[in-house]
Amino acid sequence: MTVQQWTFVIVGLTFCLYIGVAIWARAGSTKEFYVAGGGVSPLANGMATAADWMSAASYLSMAGLISFMGYGGSQYLMGWTGGYVLLALLLAPYLRKFGKFTVPDFIGERYYSKQARLVALICAIFVSFTYVVGQMKGVGVAFARFLEIPFSTGIFVGIGIVFFYAVLGGMKGITYTQVAQYCVLIFAYTVPAIFISIQMVGNPIPQIGMGSTLSDGTYLLDKLNLLSKDLGFEEYTKSGIEDRVNVFFITAALMFGTAGLPHVIVRFFTVPKVRDARKSAGYALFFIAILYTTAPAVAAFARTNLIQTVSNKPYAEMPEWFKKWEAAELINFSDKNGDGKIQYLAANQQNELVIDRDIMVLANPEIAKLPAWVIALVVAGGLAAALSTAAGLLLVIATSISHDLFKNYLKPNISEKGELLSARIAIAVAVVAAGLAGLNPPGFVAQVVALAFGLAAASFFPAIILGIFDKRMNKEGAISGMIIGIVFTALYIWYFKPQLGGPGQPSDYWFGIKPEGIGIIGMLLNLVVSFAVSRLTSPPPLEVQNLVEEIRIPRGAREATH
Amino acid sequence: MKDRKAYWNKNLKYLFILLVVWFTVSFGCGILFVETLNTIKLGGFPLGFWFAQQGSIYTFVFLIFIYVYLMNKLDKEFDVDEK
C-alpha cells in the first residue's frame, strides 16, 4: 500500500474510534456537560489533560523548532511542563475544593464582584478562541498535505468530528475521547522515535539514545556540534548570554501561563476528590513528559540526519521526500554557485537551502526511510493532537457563554434543561466559528498565541493564587491588578510585534526581553499592584474570608455544583 | 482553629521546599548555570544541556508525586482528609 492509502485507513480507523467513544459517553445533565459528572478517575483525567494540553504545535512543530534552535528550544520543553508543578501545588487542589464549574466562577465569588467575573470571562474567551483557531488550521493542513484533500474540506471534516462529540457529550464525551486520542498520539510519536534511535545509535530508548554514540564511536551530540560548527551554525548544545536572558523570561512566562490557562484548570474540576486533583496533575505531567522528553531526542536525530543527507551532496541524488516537500514549497533549493551540489550553510549569501521548520516531525520518518504505515501513523497522531486540544478549548468557550454569561448574568433562573440546551447551542456555534476562522485565519494568529500565554500569566494566575494564599486580598486589589497586568502585557506585545502593526524595534526591548517573555513582568506588576491596593482598601467581607479558610483544607469537598 | 493554622503552615513549608527544587533544576541548572554545568559530561550529554532538555522535566514529575505523598500524610495527621 502507498503512504496515502495507509493514511486513509489509519486516520479513518481512529475517527471511528472517537465517534464510538462519543456515543458511549453522552452527557445527560449540565454537570456531565461541564465537568463530566465529576466522577472521572485521576488516571483517565491525567491522560485527557495531557491530550488536551498537547496541541498540534507541541506535536508537529516543537521538535522542528528545537532541532533548529538547539539549546534555545529548551524554553518550550521546560516552559510547557514546569507549569504543572505550579498547577498541582498552588491551584488544582484548592480550586477542586472550591467546587464550581469555571474559572470565572471562582474569580466572581472569591472577589464578590460581577465586574471581576466579567473581566475573567472576557479573558477566558479571548485566550481560548485564539488558541482554537490555530488548532483548526492545523487540522486543515494535515488533511491537505497527506490525503490531498483541499484545505477547506479538511477543516470541514475536522469541524464535523469535533461538532459531533463535543455537542453530544460535552465534557464527558470530550474527556473519554481525549483518553483515546492520547493513546493514539503518544503511540504515533514514540514509534518513529524508537525506530530512528535504534537506526542511529542502536538504543531503543530515544531519551538515552540522544546521549549515546553513533556507529563511528563519537557521541551523537558531539558529532552534531561539530557538523553545526563546520557549516557556520552555533554549536547545538551551546547557550549564548542573550539566549539565556530570553530563555529565562520565556520559560517563566510559559510556565505561569500554563498554570493560568482556563482549559487546563477546568480539567481538575472533573475528579471526585481534592486528593484526586493532586494525583491527577502528577499523572498528567507524567503523560506529557513522555512526549516532551522524546521531542528533544527527535530534534537531535533529525538535525543530524538532515545535515548528513543534504550537506554538500549533489542535488540530482536527493531522495524522494526532498522532491515531495520541494513541490509543497516547504523546502527551497537555489544553486547559487552552480556546482549542482547543495551548500547548506549558516551564512545567508552562500546558503542554498531553506527548510520550513514545521516539516521536521512529518518528514522525519521519511528521512529515516521508515515504512509507509509509520508515516501514516504520524499523521493520525497529529490530527489527534489538534482535535483533542480544539475540543477542550471549545468547551471552555461554550461554558463561559452558557454558564458564566447566560446563567450567571443574563438569565439566572434558567432551568437545568434550558441551560444544557444553551450550552449545546453555544458549543455548536463556537465549533463553527472556530472552523470558519481557521479557514481564513488572520495573519496574526501565530503571533497572538504568545499573547494568550502572556495574558493568562498576567491575569488569571496572580488573581487565583492571591485568592487562595492571601486571605486579606479584596476585590479592589484583584481587579486593579488584573487590569494593570493585562493592559501592560497586551501593550508591550502589540508595540513590539511588527505583525500586529506595532512600531517597536527589537533594539528597544526593555532589558532585552522579547514580547513572548513579557507576561512574567505583567504578572509581577499585577502582584505588586494587587497587594498595594488591597492593603489601602477595606478587607473582604467575613463570609469570603471564611470561604478562603474552607478551601484550604480538603475535608468536606462537595461535588462541583452551580 | 489552631490545628488548621498549624496544618496550613506545614503545607506552606512543603510548598516552599518543593518550589525551591523546582526553581533550582529549571532556572538554575537549566538556564543560569548552564554553561558551568556544561563542562561536566553525563555520558554524551553536557550536564547543563541535559538538565534543560531532560533532567528538569523528570524532576517536575517527581516533585508532584512527592507532594501528593506528603500532603496525603499531612491530611491524615491533622484529620482533615476526605472520608
Confidence of residue A447 (pLDDT cuts 50, 70, 90): low
Count of domains in chain A?
1
Rg (CA), chain B: 17
Note whether A134 and A449 are within 8 A (CB): yes
What distance in Å separates residue A471's CA from the closest CA in chain B? 12
Task: Please list, residue by residue across A440-470, b when 16 or more beta carbons sit within 10 angstroms of its beta carbon and e when fewer do.
Answer: eeeeebebbbbbbbbbbbbbbbbbbbbbbeb
Which of B18, B60, B79 is the mutation pick for testing A, counting most A CBs within 10 A? Answer: B60
Is residue A384 a part of any domain in this protein?
A: yes
- Torsion, Cα A559 A561 B3 B4, to 10 degrees, reads 130
DSSP letters for B22-74: HHIIIIIIIIITHHHHHTSEETTEEHHHHIIIIIHHHHHHHHHHHHHHHHHHH
Chain B: residue nearest A247 by CA?
B31
Note whether B26 and B53 are within 8 A (CB): no
pTM: 0.92
A250 three-state secondary structure: helix
Burial class (CB in 10 A: 0-12, 13-18, 19+), B35: middle
Is residue A55 a part of any domain in this protein?
A: yes
Residue pLDDT, tens place only, A245-285:
888 999 999 999 999 888 889 888 888 889 999 999 999 99
- C-alpha to C-alpha distance for B79 and B83, rounded to whole angstroms: 10
Yes or no, beta carbons of A293 and B45 under 8 Å apart: no
Yes or no, beta carbons of B43 and A219 under 8 Å apart: yes
- Residues of chain B with Cβ-Cβ distance to A292 below 8 Å are 57
- Residues of chain A with Cβ-Cβ distance to B23 below 8 Å are none
- Residues of chain A with Cβ-Cβ distance to B53 below 8 Å are 66, 71, 73-74, 77, 293, 296
Q: Which of A66, A88, A556 sits opposite B67 (nearest CB)?
A: A88
Is residue A38 a part of any domain in this protein?
A: yes
- The H-assigned helical ranges of A73-205 are 74-86, 92-98, 103-110, 114-146, 151-201
Residue pLDDT, tens place only, A174-231:
899 999 999 999 999 999 999 999 999 999 999 999 999 998 889 999 999 999 999 9
Q: Which of B18, B57, B81 sits opposite A555 (nearest CB)?
A: B81
- C-alpha to C-alpha distance for A429 and A401, rounded to whole angstroms: 11
Q: Is the dihedral of CA A437, A434, A139, A519 positive or negative?
A: positive
A219 three-state secondary structure: strand
Which of A239, A242, A274, A290 is the mutation pick for testing B, counting most B CBs within 10 A? Answer: A239
Q: Which of B19, B44, B56 sits opposite A219 (nearest CB)?
A: B44
All cell numbers assigned to A289: 513528559
What distance in Å separates residue A523's CA from the closest CA in chain B? 17
Note whether A175 and B14 are within 8 A (CB): no
- C-alpha to C-alpha distance for A329 and A354, rounded to whole angstroms: 10
- C-alpha to C-alpha distance for A14 and A544, rounded to whole angstroms: 48
Q: Which of B27, B52, B64 sits opposite A84 (nearest CB)?
A: B64
Q: For residue A444, what pLDDT is reported?
A: 55
- Interface pTM, i.e. ipTM: 0.96
Q: Is the pLDDT of residue A448 over 90?
A: no
Yes or no, beta carbons of B57 and A81 under 8 Å apart: yes
Which single residue is written with the C-alpha cell 496533575?
A281
Contacts of A260 (CB under 8 A, 6+ apart): A456, A457, A459, A460, A461, A464
Q: How many CB pairs under 8 A join A and B?
A: 140
Note whether A251 and A149 are within 8 A (CB): no
Confidence of residue A140 (pLDDT cuts 50, 70, 90): confident
Q: How far is CA A110 from the centre of its chain?
A: 28
Contacts of A99 (CB under 8 A, 6+ apart): A269, A557, A558, A559, A560, A561
As a three-state string, the secondary structure of A402-469 is HHHHHHHHHCCCCCHHHHHHHHHHHHHHHHHHHHHHHHCCCCCHHHHHHHHHHHHHHCHHHHHHHHHH
- The closest of A17, A10, A69, A35 to A191, measured between CA atoms, is A10
A333 three-state secondary structure: strand
Backbone angles phi, psi at A29, to 5 degrees: -140, 170
Measuring CA to CA, how many Å separate A67 from each of A267, A304, A559?
Answer: 32, 9, 45
Q: Which of B35, B38, B60 sits opposite A82 (nearest CB)?
A: B60
Backbone angles phi, psi at B41, to 5 degrees: -110, 140
Yes or no, beta carbons of A296 and B54 under 8 Å apart: yes
Note whether A90 and A256 are within 8 A (CB): no
Q: Mean pLDDT throughout A149-159?
A: 82
What distance in Å separates residue A424's CA from the closest CA in chain B? 34
Residue pLDDT, tens place only, B2-27:
688 999 999 999 999 999 999 999 99
Q: For residue B34, what pLDDT is reported?
A: 92
Q: Is the pLDDT of residue B45 over 60?
A: yes
- Residues of chain B with Cβ-Cβ distance to A259 below 8 Å are none
- C-alpha to C-alpha distance for A156 and A458, rounded to whole angstroms: 35
- Residues of chain A with Cβ-Cβ distance to B60 below 8 Å are 81-82, 84-85, 285, 289
Note whether B76 and A102 are within 8 A (CB): no
Residue pLDDT, tens place only, B62-79:
999 999 999 999 999 998
Chain A: residue nearest B79 by CA?
A555
**Kind of pairing between the strands at A353-355 and A331-333:** antiparallel
Which of B10, B57, B70 is the mutation pick for testing A, counting most A CBs within 10 A? Answer: B57
Domain range spanning residue A70?
A: 3-315+364-551
As a three-state string, the secondary structure of A89-123 is HHHHHHHHHHCCCCHHHHHHHHCCCHHHHHHHHHH
Q: Is the pLDDT of residue A235 over 60?
A: yes
Strand-pair partners of A354: A332
Spans of all domains in chain B: 2-77
For the ranges A133-137, A381-385, A531-535, the lowest mean pLDDT is seen at A133-137
CATH number of the structural domain spanning residue A295: 1.20.1730.10
- C-alpha to C-alpha distance for A394 and A358, rounded to whole angstroms: 25
Q: Which of B7, B46, B64 sits opposite A281 (nearest CB)?
A: B64
- C-alpha to C-alpha distance for A216 and A202, rounded to whole angstroms: 12
What distance in Å separates residue A81's CA from the closest CA in chain B? 7
Q: For residue A450, what pLDDT is reported?
A: 66
- The closest of A391, A387, A380, A183 to A267, measured between CA atoms, is A391
SS3 content of chain A, % helix, strand, coil (to 5): 75, 0, 20
Q: For residue A528, what pLDDT is reported?
A: 97
All cell numbers assigned to B62: 517527581
Measuring CA to CA, how many Å separate A489 from each of A250, A456, A527, A534?
Answer: 13, 10, 14, 21
Q: Does B62 touch chain A (CB under 8 A)?
A: no
Q: Is the pLDDT of residue A562 over 60?
A: no
Instruction: Choose between A132 and B32: higher pLDDT.
Output: B32
| % chain A with pLDDT above 90 | 40
Q: Which of A66, A88, A239 sits opposite B35 (nearest CB)?
A: A239
Measuring CA to CA, how many Å separate A334 from each of A207, A343, A442?
Answer: 36, 9, 31
